[in-house]
Amino acid sequence: MNSNQLNRPKPVRRKVFVSYHHGNDQDYYDTLSENMDDRLELFTDNSLEREVDSADHSYIMRRIRENHLHGSSCTLVLCGADTWQRKYVDWEIEASLVQEMGLVGIWLPSLPLELNGGTAKPARLQDNIDSGYAVWVNWHDIEQDPSALRDAIERANNAPQKLIDNSRKRQGRNL
């Protein structure tokens, strides 16, 4: 090892929370977990639909913050074809923004491009991409260069918190 390698700071191993549609996008989460294990400490919601037996929104939001997001600096949202429809994904994004965590959306190959050139992302994520707070990155870019995800997380964690847009009404049900 030369002196430059000894003096170079070791990259921070970020703790991140991963929000996604378990029914459709579990394989992408598994791939991310396997390929990024040495770079990220991933937390996932373990499917709130099965875990939280309550209709009390305040209770559920507290559980998300305390049991799922606690200790994370950033939330990754894996965006597949049906992610935009999932109420718990919206709630996890909302709770992340309340805690002023970084926010990164990941465009999965299963998310089609719409006729207008956009994609059907969770609306609260789109609000924050539009405001400049959230970072949007393509899955293929991460596959080709894993540092692309680490860079997106750092950009998200350094985004000015004044750009957070959490004004949208909470999604009441899966669409």
Q: What is the pLDDT of residue 50?
A: 45
The number of domains in the chain is: 1
Q: What is the pLDDT of residue 137?
A: 97
| CATH (domain of 92) | 3.40.50.450
Show the tokens assigned to 47: 């499917």
Q: What is the pLDDT of residue 122?
A: 97
Q: What is the pLDDT of residue 36?
A: 76
Residue 126, in any domain of the structure? yes
Q: What is the pLDDT of residue 145?
A: 92
Under 8 Å CB-to-CB from 114, ≥6 apart: which residues? 120
pLDDT averages per 10-residue partition of the chain, 175 residues: 57 80 92 77 53 65 68 92 94 94 97 89 97 97 91 96 96 88
Residue 5, in any domain of the structure? no
